[in-house]
Amino acid sequence: MQITLEEAETLVSGVFEANGVLDSTARSVARALVQAEAAGQSGHGLRRIPAYVKQVRTGKVDGTARPKASRPRPAVLAIDADFGFAYPALDLAVLELPAIAREQGIAFAAINRSHHAGVMALTVERFAEQGLVAMMFANAPASMAPWGGKVPLFGTNPIAFAAPIAGDEPLVIDLALSKVARGKVMEATQKGTSIPDDWAFDTDGNPTTDAFAAIKGTMAPSGGAKGAALALMVEVMAAGIGGAHYSYQASSLFDETGPPPALGQSLIVIDPDATTGGGAAERFAALASEMAKQDGVRLPGRRGRGLRAESIQHGLKIDDDVMKAIEALG
């Protein structure tokens, strides 16, 4: 089925509203999921809707929660997602942090009692579009073992970064610290397809092409020991600092059983002109220009933004099984 992004957001928002989610929250969640789908990140897109709705119905996520913010230090924002969806809390951070960063030169936000952070590029780029540099950390339910271990302890724990480029689209980096995002494995289970043998291990620690075995086992860290070490860093930045659950304490994002996952996200937002007095975006543009001179080099983030632009022009194609699942929940 081919529909416009606006139609898709209206459809998805209506499903969440029909299941008791606040109108404003439903719109925030719908926007994030549709934009993820449009950016080619289907593992974080519309296929998440059935799990999200089931979690609302069982109370694993509170669809009526409203995020609350406090400012314990001049450059620090503490946001309580109140066991609700992460997207309204992230929207609140995007609203509040720019003014703090321009006032202080740098701003930090810690979000606790949160949920799935989705495609983090969609969050950090909103700061870059305002001329700011942003970095984001998020933990996720345990799916990756420490290097040398076999028991999941860390999540896929993504990191995202964005910087403004004078006269051009922002530079955006978004990567999971596992070989691939776990959402891709979840998508493979829904489609009944196999996965590459370097994505994950089964419960015995052996590489597997079986997506169901991978979900029960552990994800392979990106870069081996280095990726596992960075996942530990994200645990501290996303959960330790903000008082959220560590990955090994969090319940699954893929089903409706158990208590709220109570995950954490954190954001560092910098006014890049604070130390030099101006011209940072132009300096970043010079670096990007040097990269672009080399054949075969594509600036990070351009593919996703290109896909979204294409979706705006031609609409979003939704698989029949996804549409049926969405319609069944309305």
Work out the average pLDDT over 150-179. 94
pLDDT at 148: 85
Is 320 a member of any domain?
A: yes
pLDDT in tens, 213-267: 998 889 999 988 999 999 999 999 999 999 999 999 999 999 999 999 999 999 9
Distances (CA, A) of 300 to 160, 175, 305, 314: 11, 10, 10, 23
Total of domains in the chain: 1
Query: Rounded distance, CA 41 to CA 183, Å?
Result: 9
The residue whose two tokens read 């345990």 is 142
10 Å Cβ neighbour count for 193? 10
Strand partners, 274: none
pLDDT at res. 149: 86
Q: Which pLDDT belongs to residue 296?
A: 93
Alpha-carbon span 101 to 108, nearest angstrom? 8
**Strands in 203-278 per DSSP E:** 218-219, 263-270
Report the pLDDT value the prediction gives residue 238, as an integer from 0 to 100. Answer: 98
> Is residue 314 over pLDDT 90?
yes
Q: What is the mean pLDDT of residues 170-180?
A: 93
Residue 267 lies in a domain: yes
Judge whether 195 lies within some domain.
no
Give rounded-to-5 percent helix, strand, coil for the chain: 45, 20, 40
Give one DSSP letter per residue of 27-67, joined into a string. Answer: HHHHHHHHHHHHTT-GGGTGGGHHHHHHHHHHTSS-TT---
* Residue that is written with structure tokens 């954490």 in the block: 264
- Tell me whether residue 243 is in a domain: yes
pLDDT band, residue 92 (cuts 50/70/90): very high
Q: Which CATH number covers residue 92?
A: 3.30.1370.60
**What is the CB neighbour count within 10 angstroms for residue 99?**
10
Q: Does residue 154 form part of some domain?
A: yes
Distance set, CA 213 to CA 48, 207, 307 (Å): 20, 10, 31
> Where do we find the tokens 């008082």?
243
Domain assignment of residue 203, yes or no: no
Domain assignment of residue 174, given as a range: 2-178+221-277+302-329
pLDDT tens-digit readout, 34-68: 999 999 998 899 999 999 999 999 999 999 999 99
Taking 90 as the threshold, does the pLDDT of residue 30 lie above it? yes
- pLDDT tens figures, 98-133: 999 999 999 999 999 999 999 999 999 999 999 999
Which whole number is the average pLDDT over 285-308? 94
The residue whose two tokens read 């007095």 is 277
Q: What element of type H or E holds 291?
A: helix 280-292
- Note the Cα 28 to chain centre separation in Å: 14
The answer to whether 128 and 99 are in contact (CB under 8 A) is: no
Q: Produce one character per residue of 120-145: b if its CB has 16 or more CB atoms within 10 Å, e if not.
A: bbbbbbbbbebbbbbbbbbbbbbbbb
pLDDT of residue 123: 98
DSSP state for residue 177 in the 8-state scheme: S
Residue 260 lies in a domain: yes
**Mean pLDDT over each residue of the chain, to the nearest integer:** 95
Burial letters 233-261, b for 16+ CB under 10 A, else e: ebbebbbbbbebbbbeebbbbbebeeebb
Residue 53 lies in a domain: yes
**pLDDT tens track for 60-89:** 999 999 999 999 999 999 999 999 999 999
Of the candidates 219, 195, 194, 193, the one whose C-alpha atom is nearest the C-alpha of residue 205 is 219
Highest mean pLDDT out of 20-29, 147-156, 210-219? 20-29
